[in-house]
Amino acid sequence: MDLSDYRFSAEPYYRPVGHEIALYEHAYAHRLPLILKGPTGCGKTRFVEYMAWRLGKPLITLACNEDMTAADLVGRFLLDADGTHWHDGPLTVAARRGAICYLDEVVEARQDTTVVIHPLTDSRRKLPLDRKGEVVTAHPDFQLVVSYNPGYQSSAKSLKPSTRQRFAALEFDYPDATAEAEIVAHEARIEPALAATLVDIARHSRALRARGLDEGVSTRMLVYAGVLIRDGLPAAESCHMAMTSAITDDPDLRQALQDIVDACLG
């Protein structure tokens, strides 16, 4: 399998907010499996993309969900015109070929699915393909990275201790106001002053977590709003579409968010 489609030819934009780049490089030097923890839309996926580019490694990403099976990770036999043949899954491809494998929102997958990663996350660095009768030894360049949002953890959706303790961890949060405004201005291609106003809305919205909002407005949502404004949609409508209407269905919370938007936009 050609991994050229999984390599970044151009540098993904990433604005560091701490020592996360150096920490990741140390983890990769020892091929430590890594957990990225942080709220939705704070830049975890972009960070992995940037690090794959920086290290010159292919990146295979899989968005986890509750219907994902072990076969979706490791592979399965499929029938084609020439008969039945084994097809490697994304985790197996990454392990064989030396890519970084990124499992996004890993807690969304069933626990009986995620246990298949265990042999890859200790000194064995092996992946048993039980249905094929093969054991894949991970390529020296292979690394496993997973992410999840601790804010959504519950007894039904959390990492088992037997899984969690196999990983090192990096914690992410939304950047400080100055850095976040810089990111929004760059990604949405808007003026810094407008980006700063959008960030002000987000920071006020995050205070509503104490009033029942699961999470405040994310950096990603700010970029969406900025793009709509840049395209000519009025700022209030852009914020309603990208933020207040998207983040909650609760009428009281939506009104509180709309009040924040109106106050910040003047």
pLDDT tens for 79-115 read 887 888 899 999 999 999 999 999 999 988 887 788 8
- Of 127, 146, 171, which closes a domain? 171
189 plus 63 within the same structural domain: no
156 plus 239 within the same structural domain: no
132 plus 226 within the same structural domain: no
pLDDT tens profile 170-199: 999 999 999 999 999 999 999 999 999 999
114 plus 243 within the same structural domain: no
pLDDT tens profile 194-247: 999 999 999 999 888 767 777 889 999 999 999 999 999 999 999 999 999 998
98 plus 157 within the same structural domain: yes
110 plus 227 within the same structural domain: no
Q: How confident is the model at residue 164 (pLDDT cuts 50, 70, 90)?
A: confident
Separation of alpha carbons 229 and 231, rounded Å: 5
Residue 240 belongs to domain spanning: 177-265
CATH number of the domain at 153, please.
3.40.50.300
Q: What is the pLDDT of residue 161?
A: 83
With helix as H, strand as E and coil as C, how does the chain read? CCCHHHCCCCCCCCCCCCCHHHHHHHHHHCCCCEEEECCCCCCHHHHHHHHHHHHCCCEEEEECCCCCCHHHHHEEEEEECCEEEEEECHHHHHHHHCCEEEEECHHHCCHHHHHHHHHHCCCCCEEEECCCCEEEECCCCCEEEEEECHHHCCCCCCCCHHHHCCCEEEECCCCCHHHHHHHHHHHHCCCHHHHHHHHHHHHHHHHHHHHCCCCCCCHHHHHHHHHHHHCCCCHHHHHHHHHHHHHCCCHHHHHHHHHHHHHHHC
228 plus 207 within the same structural domain: yes
Would you say residue 154 has pLDDT above 70?
no
102 plus 188 within the same structural domain: no
Reported pTM = 0.91
Q: What is the pLDDT of residue 155?
A: 45
55 plus 162 within the same structural domain: yes
Q: How many domains does the chain have?
A: 2
Would you say residue 156 has pLDDT above 80?
no
34 plus 145 within the same structural domain: yes
- Of 152, 171, 190, which closes a domain? 171
116 plus 14 within the same structural domain: yes
Q: What is the pLDDT of residue 153?
A: 52
